[in-house]
Amino acid sequence: MTELAIHAADRDIANELCEQVRSAYHDRTPLRIVAGNTRAFYGRPVEGTELNVAAHSGIVSYDPIELVVTVRAGTRLSALNAALAEKHQMLPFEPPIFGDASTIGGAVATGMSGPRRPWAGAARDFVLGTRVITQEGKLLRFGGEVMKNVAGYDLSRMMAGAQGTLGVLADISFKVLPIPTASHSLRLEMSLQDALAKLSELGRQPLPITAAAWHAGELFIRLEGGESSVKATKERLGGEELSADFWQQLRDQQHGFFSLNEGQALWRLSLPPHTPALELAVDESDIFYDWGGSQRWVKTALLADTLRDECQKAGGHATCYTPHAQGGAESPFTPLNAVVEKYHRNLKAELDAHGIFNPGRLYAAF
């Protein structure tokens, strides 16, 4: 176990948070759960009393040999990444950082993953366990060595992407991985059609690719792994050298592409691998292909129904990242079908009977 430095900002305020939740449960007062508040744009606005977990911060334990770290939800992502980097390790799902105040709890609650996602896995895949504050204000542990069930559910991975609607994340345990020995990024001039065909071809081969994107006539690829493997693949693919900062800018939406013109909304299209270009009335320069083509960022003034219909035909879905310009969308998230909605409602009713946790964050009804 690594000896951890204690910082002045490190605090365990779980008991205080539990007391606030107990009071809200008793009074049936809706809570708006926040920390860094850098992801407030993602989802529907919540009306309620603020429950701020930002002060619940710090690394609880870290074992580099076992590749496990446990951290409080209010811990800033920058601090956690720095601590892991000291031991040449990382969070494999590469969570986006939308400002200095971005926290690990927010990253898990929104379920966001970076460019490495298709090759490494999603945020939920690396969550080993959690401590969650339940609707009654109890602090329970799920996953890991100890597991207690609430209504038969294990909340550990379920919390990823739930946006605080099922409970309050207090602590999270993650599996971490070593930082690759070698890393090289390259840029190749290529049409969209050729790029999608190339990515499909490369995806069938055991190559050390950990990120792939296309925009405006250029294919971008990141190679990571052993020195010899990266070098051999780099020589085989050719192209020009690309700064590693490119992937960070893409991950954190700092790339110039993410600047919107008046009337445009930013949409994230999630599609099956190898999906060809969709029939959208959108300029090619306003689409950024990430995750080897399975995640596509689209800047457009098209109506939500138009985008979602095209995505649905291809087996995917569309999410609006700019709620102030949703193009007529009732919700930033794709509406659920009746069967899935029933499951969501039942789960919400079991874990948040009084609807106090971020009500309406995902969908108006719950």
Torsion angle of C-alpha atoms 188, 191, 196, 202, degrees rounded to 10: -30
| Model pTM score | 0.93
Which CATH code, of 3.30.70, 3.40.50, 3.90.550, 2.60.40, is assigned to 260-325?
A: 3.30.70
The residue among 116, 118, 147, 119 whose CA lies nearest residue 131 is 147
What is the share, in percent, of the chain residues with pLDDT greater than 70?
A: 92
Confidence of residue 146 (pLDDT cuts 50, 70, 90): very low
Mean pLDDT of 122-139: 97
pLDDT value at residue 152: 53
Q: Does domain 14-178 have CATH number 3.30.465.10?
A: yes
Give 255-276 pLDDT, tens digit per residue.
Answer: 999 999 988 999 999 999 999 9
- The DSSP line for 196-219 is HHHHHHHHTS---EEEEEEETTEE
In the predicted model, is pLDDT for residue 94 greater than 90?
Answer: yes
Q: How confident is the model at residue 193 (pLDDT cuts 50, 70, 90)?
A: very high
pLDDT at position 327: 52
Q: Looking at residue 262, what is its pLDDT?
A: 87
pLDDT tens-place string over residues 307-322: 999 999 999 999 999 8
pLDDT in tens, 327-364: 546 689 999 999 999 999 999 999 999 999 999 999 98
pLDDT recorded at residue 148: 42
Residue 10 binned pLDDT confidence (cut-offs 50, 70, 90): confident
- What number is the average pLDDT over the span 72-90? 98
pLDDT in tens, 25-39: 999 999 999 999 999
Give me 20's structure tokens: 């606030």
Q: Name the nearest CA neighbour of 90 among 185, 157, 181, 4.
A: 181
Q: What is the mean pLDDT of residues 126-152?
A: 79
pLDDT given at position 295:
98
The burial class, CB within 10 Å (0-12 / 13-18 / 19+), for 202 is middle
For 343, the 3-state DSSP assignment is helix
Residue 212 pLDDT > 50, yes or no? yes
| In the predicted structure, residue 118 carries a pLDDT above the cut 70 | yes
Mean per-residue pLDDT for 180-185?
98
Instruction: In the chain, list all ranges with CATH 3.30.70.
Output: 182-251, 260-325
H helix runs in the chain, sequence order: 14-27, 77-86, 104-110, 117-120, 155-158, 192-203, 227-237, 245-251, 304-313, 338-351
What was the pLDDT predicted at 132? 97
* pLDDT confidence bin for 366, thresholds 50/70/90: confident
For the ranges 3-7, 11-15, 329-333, which has the lowest average pLDDT? 3-7
CATH of domain 182-251: 3.30.70
The token duo for 351 is 């874990």
Whether the pLDDT of residue 151 is over 90: the answer is no
HSE (CB half, 13 Å, CA atoms) of 45?
A: 4
